[in-house]
């Protein structure tokens, strides 16, 4: 839940605001910011998945 909140609200919304209203990109900047938040969320969730899977793998071996 924290990863999603930070990714979508912290990164995505902030990037959308900055690119959409403080550059000449306008609505394209809002979409780019949204996609940036989505990409950050995807990377964070894959990282978390692999961390949990590796922890289970090594816990079973030991």
- Percentage of the chain beyond pLDDT 90 is 87
Taking the C-alpha atoms of 15, 18, 33 and 41 in order, what is their torsion angle to the nearest 10 degrees?
10
Beta strands in 1-62 (DSSP E): none
pTM over 0.85: yes
| Mean pLDDT, the chain, integer | 94
Taking only the tens place, the pLDDT of each residue in 19-48 is 999 999 999 999 999 999 999 999 999 999
CA 10 to chain CA centroid, Å, is: 9
**Residue 19: per-residue pLDDT:** 97
**Residue 8: per-residue pLDDT:** 96
**Residues contacting residue 26 through CB under 8 Å, at least 6 positions apart:** 20
**Residues contacting residue 23 through CB under 8 Å, at least 6 positions apart:** 29
């Amino acid at each position: 839940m924290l990863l999603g909140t930070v990714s979508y609200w912290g990164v995505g919304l902030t990037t959308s605001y900055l690119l959409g209203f403080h550059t000449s990109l306008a609505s394209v900047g809002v979409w780019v910011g949204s996609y940036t938040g989505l990409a950050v969320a995807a990377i964070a969730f894959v990282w978390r998945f692999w961390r949990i899977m590796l922890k289970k793998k090594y816990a079973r071996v030991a």
